Amino acid sequence: MDRLIASLKRWPTLALVIGGAFLAGCQDSSEQQQQGAAPPPPAVEFVTLQTESVNISETYSGRVTAYRSAEIRPQVSGIILERAFEEGARVEAGDLLYQIDPAVYEAELAAARSELALARANAESARLLAERYASLVKTSAVSQQEADDASAAWKQAQAQIQAAEAAVKRAQIDLDYTRITAPIAGIISRSNVTEGALVSAQQSTALARVHQLSPVYVDIRQPASALLKLKRDSGVPETSIQVSLDDGTTYPETGTLKFAESQVDQDTGTVNIRALFNNSDEWLLPGMFVRASVVIEQLDNAILAPQPGIIRQPNGAASAMVITEEDKVESRPVSVGRAIGNKWLVNDGLQAGDRIIVKGLQKVSPGAQVTPQPAQGDSESR
């Protein structure tokens, strides 16, 4: 009986020990679960910077000018019988454009040819007489004066032949001028006259115009200081030039700098430079306004940072979040220059090999641990 009572007294103590052990085990398990549920470092995307060759460009206004342009004017007077082209069509050098009534000029040519025939006949008669008198003067059958007169008449007849031949040639030229042809190949403008119109030789009003559109020039007004820098850096070689059209479209072809004037405009301080474009598709038309991008400098080891990775402070300063070797965030003050495409040209603060955060900046702060992931398209970081 005493042993039974002693055992019952020990049961509460044993229950407390077991309960305490059970509660301690539950608490340890809860702490372990809480530690296991701690969130991982935030994931961010980065771009690895590298050096590259960059062309520094400036944009100026420009005008398209035809490579060659010809105004069509008549060189003889007459009535237009025919217009032999379609307005706005392509013509080749030598193509017939207008036909002036040739009747008058054909008659003049016929008259000139008859005068030539008469001069040749007279010259033949004068030659025979001069030769006969030259023989007779030796026997004193005619006087020396008569022989000299006959010789002079023959020479005069030869001169008349030359004058008649020149008149025939002139009449033939005038007749040829009744066919007004294209002096160059290109696109012809609208016609200022129609069939039946009376035109005059070398009149001030052009009948039409022909512009050669491939290639074309683009005349650009560039500050004299920029031209001097271009000469110092490269001696004005065949610098590449790109243009954008009035609607903002970038023209697909690249032009070449060919010419720079040797005089500065005193009012604007600019110099006219001329670029040559092949213009194979003939998009560029004479008189068209364009924006020309001229390369003024080339940097061989430039650092370009994606614009999303550069943070602008309220005071205007710029910084970038750089991932260290320990995958921690470091705030780096930077100095950037001009925008080139969708990147900033870095002047100071970053170097090749730096990993800058371009996505997930709102989730991090300096000193934070991160899980870096290469940004899409950053093949260097992969």
In a domain, residue 356? The reply is: yes
Per the CB < 8 A criterion, the answer to whether 322 and 267 are in contact is: no
Q: Which tokens belong to 175?
A: 């007749």
314 shares its domain with 349: yes
Q: Which of 278, 299, 320 is the last residue of a domain?
A: 299
Q: Which of 251, 281, 299 is the last residue of a domain?
A: 299
Per the CB < 8 A criterion, the answer to whether 342 and 16 are in contact is: no
163 shares its domain with 197: no
Give dist(CA 61, CA 19) in Å, integer: 89
In a domain, residue 34? The reply is: no
Instruction: Grade residue 238 by pLDDT with cuts at 50, 70 and 90.
Output: low
What's the rounded mean pLDDT across residues 46-59?
Answer: 86
Q: Into how many domains does the chain fold?
A: 4
283 shares its domain with 166: no
CATH code for position 351: 2.40.420.20
225 shares its domain with 112: no
Lowest mean pLDDT among 42-51, 104-113, 226-235, 320-329: 226-235
Provide DSSP, 110-163: HHHHHHHHHHHHHHHHHHHHHHHHHHHGGGTSS-HHHHHHHHHHHHHHHHHHHH
CATH code for position 218: 2.40.30.170
79 shares its domain with 156: no
**In this predicted structure, what is the pLDDT of residue 382?**
38
- For the stretch 27-49, pLDDT in tens is 554 554 555 556 788 899 999 99
Q: How many CA atoms lie within 13 A of 10 on its CB side?
A: 5
pTM, 2 dp: 0.64
113 shares its domain with 93: no
List the domain range (segments joined by +) for residue 83.
74-100+179-205
In a domain, residue 83? The reply is: yes
CATH code for position 90: 2.40.50.100
In a domain, residue 15? The reply is: no
186 shares its domain with 217: no
- For the stretch 131-176, pLDDT in tens is 898 888 888 888 889 888 888 999 999 999 999 999 999 999 999 9
In a domain, residue 6? The reply is: no
Give dist(CA 377, CA 382) in Å, integer: 9
CATH code for position 158: 1.10.287
Give dist(CA 194, CA 212) in Å, integer: 24
Residue 179 has pLDDT above 70, yes or no: yes
Instruction: Grade residue 315 by pLDDT with cuts at 50, 70 and 90.
Output: confident
193 shares its domain with 307: no
256 shares its domain with 227: yes
What are the two backbone dihedrals, phi and then psi, of residue 264, each rounded to the nearest 5 degrees?
A: -95, 135
Q: Which of 299, 321, 342 is the last residue of a domain?
A: 299
282 shares its domain with 341: no
**In this predicted structure, what is the pLDDT of residue 340?**
85
158 shares its domain with 122: yes
What's the rounded mean pLDDT across residues 62-71?
Answer: 93
136 shares its domain with 107: yes
In a domain, residue 381? The reply is: no
Cβ within 8 Å of residue 79, ≥6 positions away: 100, 101, 196, 197, 198, 199
Instruction: Grade residue 14 by pLDDT with cuts at 50, 70 and 90.
Output: very low
In a domain, residue 294? The reply is: yes
In a domain, residue 144? The reply is: yes
